[in-house]
Amino acid sequence: MGEWDEGHHNNRTGRADNLIRTDRKGRCFYLEYREGMLFPAGQELHLCYEEIDRLKRKNVTLMIGLCVLTGVLVVDLALRLVGWLF
């Protein structure tokens, strides 16, 4: 992909601090959105946010399904125990 370029403020002063010494762990892009970000970088960032939202919705749906299944299994077990006792 090449070297990171903010897309604006292309002056060379402080570039080493910005590119090398900034902690960027856990980020899709090196830097958070800034005013003046180039359009292709904004598109990629938007796609990443959409994917994260989609995965969150999928996980919520999965957890609801697991809770319903657990409830059904508990009711089934209770009915079997009542049938076994009487």
Please give the structure tokens belonging to residue 60.
């919520």
Q: What is the 3-state secondary structure (H, E, C) of 8-56?
A: CCCCCCCHHHHHCCCCCCCCCCCCCCCCCCCHHHHHHHHHHHHHHHHHH
Report pLDDT digits (tens) over 13-42. Answer: 666 666 667 666 666 555 465 677 777 877
Share of the chain above pLDDT 70, in %: 60
What per-residue confidence (pLDDT) applies to 27?
60
Residue 57, pLDDT > 80, answer yes
What DSSP designation does 86 have? Answer: -
Measured distance CA(63)–CA(56) in Å, rounded: 11
